[in-house]
Chains A and B, each alone.
Chain A
Amino acid sequence: MNLKHKPLLAALAIALLLLPFATDAMLGRGWVRIADFALLYIMLALGLNIVVGYAGLLDLGYVAFFAVGAYNYALLSSPQFGLHWPFWVVLPLGALLACCFGVLLGAPTLKLRGDYLAIVTLGFGEIIRIFLNNLNAPVNITNGPQGISMIDPIRAGEFSMGGEHQLFGLAFPATHLHYYLFLLFTLLVIFVSRRLEGSRIGRAWMAIREDEVAAEAMGLNTRNIKLLAFAMGATFGGLSGGLFAGFQGFVSPESFSLMESIMILCMVVLGGMGNIGGVILGGVLLVLLPEALRNGAGPMQQALFGKTLVDPESLRMLMFGLALIAVMLLRPAGLWPSTQRRRELSPDEMISHQEQDTVYDNSK
């Protein structure tokens, strides 16, 4: 890392540390909770980024790994089976389990390309959700659509993150504690992503993304490398899922619908595929935007027309959809694309023509 960025990074670190208290004071605790979710989604988006952004494999069922992590936590630390395993066992186990599911998904899809891969991953996501939703009979495992409630909060010894704590003379409510925990894990995920990006494996993923045949001709074992992408991406998803279950205290299959997968994909693409900073930006924006619109839509109408013409809540998702379209039209490569991709895309006419051909080529 460059030395001249140091002051900037220090400022950023302080800002991130103070964020929950500042938000709580200015906007209310609801926004701290939103920040917590933003961090969870950043982890998810970074995980999907490995599959979609680095390896170029379109995955529409990513939420399945989130679900695996969440249900793993819920089953092993709740009254459902009377198990109350500590989180440092359950969280890594969830990540590992998700990793296995990643390989399980990857294996039959190795030969598939583009949109065929998309539909199979979509199907995989739905299959996991349907199983979670129905495994309450004949043997009750997941408690079916009722979901699992009373999940243990994340705790270490006597220190439970479910309640408020006094530390250093400051009151830390549950939302704040989770913020710091999630921040820690997010930093870990960012660190791993960055290391992977520059590594042999990362370069192999990008080689596959750019041209699988050429990559194979260069002696890359494309099968293993693709499986590794699925496995790594899934691991992050499982980790985030476990944290989600501990935070919410309740999981039900409703939280793992196809729409969630699509939203995570939007974060990756809208932010800037393959670029960690862009993906983080995408995650933050797509979590904040609908919430900001929740409060913004009503007053904005008041200001524009002097009265509320349409229910603010109907307008909220409408504006969200419009924002998705507008951002992609204005910045087709994402808000903050990776420099490498940008170099490939814009200045060279030839390459953009090649890209154009790939859009059409899928039909053949």
Chain B
Amino acid sequence: MDILLQQIINGLVQGSVYALVALGYTMVYGILGLINFAHGEVVMVGAMVALAVSGMLLAAGLPPLLVLLLALLVAMAVCMALGYAIERIAYRPLRNAPRLAPLITAIGVSIVLQNLAMIFWGREYHAFPQLLPGASHGFGGAIINDVQIIIIAVALLMMAGLLVLVHRTRLGRAMRAVAENPSAAALMGVDINTVISVTFMIGSALAAVAGLMVSANYGIVHYYMGFLLGLKAFTAAVLGGIGNLRGAMLGGVLLGLIESLGAGYIGDLSGGFFGSNYQDVFAFFALIAVLVFRPSGLLGERVAERA
């Protein structure tokens, strides 16, 4: 029983990590209908910047929590600038282009960021300093530590914050208007370009937070870390219904749970024929099953049959 509980906790933590990244994906998608494939790399840049800053500040002898805060702020600032630049350079000129064109530039941006990071920060895996308290808590035979609790909390807070932003503020209304119909929104006096830029910057700031939390949890940073994370987060976002903020959270947590329970019990369920090596197969089958019955994800709205 304590093993099952532990697997659920593992799934929640892993799922919250996915959700953190998926929120950024879904934010941009909700407004633009564009899969920002470079989002995973922005997360990586956030982690790398946070690592560099905290390395410098720790050397200067500042207390860890202050270092964490400063590192987070710098990482967010850098990522926001980066997000703005990516949108301006790689996506905006293609707004009227065929649908797949921005997908290719997104892949290009992703390759460029990865290799730039490799040149700047080297090919090694870097250890991320422990800035958050790491005490473990026993909990019905299972164990959870402070960093993990913080990750779950941050993911929930971020989702709540974004919901408020999108549904309760002027900016949010502008965002929804742009998402609904950009031309009509422009006629109503919404500055589309600004709204989209701001959306990208918010998404990128979220990526910085995610990058920091991920590296704080696993204690390791590498220029290649963004790819797989981005992929899983994208899967999570689609599972929940891409473009829907609650869906990103739900999809992330579900994917995390499916993975951890899959890895933990798939062997027993299949009589030892399949093992944890089929964890991703299990996750993808779950995704396909969901999409067959709900083609727009769990919380996604039904895609209108375009006429």
Contact = CB atoms under 8 A, between A and B. Distances in A.
B288 A123 contact: yes
Interface string A102-116: 000000110111111
A108 B287 CA distance: 12
Contacts of A310: 119
19 contacts: A108-B292, A109-B291, A111-B292, A120-B288, A120-B291, A124-B284, A126-B281, A126-B284, A212-B305, A214-B307, A265-B103, A269-B104, A315-B115, A318-B116, A324-B111, A355-B96, A356-B183, A362-B303, A363-B31
B107 interface: yes
A211 B306 CA distance: 8
Contacts of B179: 360, 363-364
B280 A321 contact: no
A328 interface: yes
B172 interface: no
A166 interface: no
B137 interface: no
A119 interface: yes
A268 B103 CA distance: 12
A90 interface: no
Interface string A308-350: 0011001101101111110011001100000001000100000
B133 interface: no
Interface stretch (A74-82, A127-135, A187-195, A228-236): A127-135
Interface of A: 52, 58, 108-109, 111-116, 118-120, 122-124, 126-127, 130-131, 133-134, 138, 211-214, 258, 262, 265-266, 269-270, 273, 310-311, 314-315, 317-318, 320-325, 328-329, 332-333, 341, 345, 352-353, 355-364
Interface in B155-203: 178-183
A329 B105 contact: yes
Contact of B96 (A120, A134, A325, A356): A356
A360 B32 contact: yes
A138 B278 CA distance: 13
Interface stretch (B61-69, B209-217, B294-302): B294-302
A130 B277 contact: yes
A116 B288 CA distance: 10
B118 to A, nearest CB: 6
Given A262-B107, A360-B178, 17 more contacts: A112-B295, A119-B238, A123-B235, A127-B280, A127-B281, A138-B273, A213-B305, A314-B119, A317-B115, A321-B114, A325-B105, A325-B112, A353-B183, A355-B99, A357-B183, A360-B179, A363-B243
B234 A360 contact: no
A25 to B, nearest CB: 34
B106 to A, nearest CB: 9
Contacts of B116: 318
Interface of A is mostly: helix
A333 B101 contact: yes
A317 B123 CA distance: 14
B292 A332 contact: no
Contacts of A211: 306-307
Interface stretch (B42-50, B51-59, B86-94, B144-152): B86-94
Interface centre among A317, A356, A360 (most CB of B within 10 A): A360
A358 B33 CA distance: 9
A4 to B, nearest CB: 31
Nearest to B123: A314
B104 A266 contact: yes
A324 B105 contact: yes
B135 interface: no
Contacts of A359: 32-34, 95-96, 99, 102
B94 A321 contact: no
Contacts of B31: 363
A269 B100 contact: yes
Contacts of B114: 317, 321
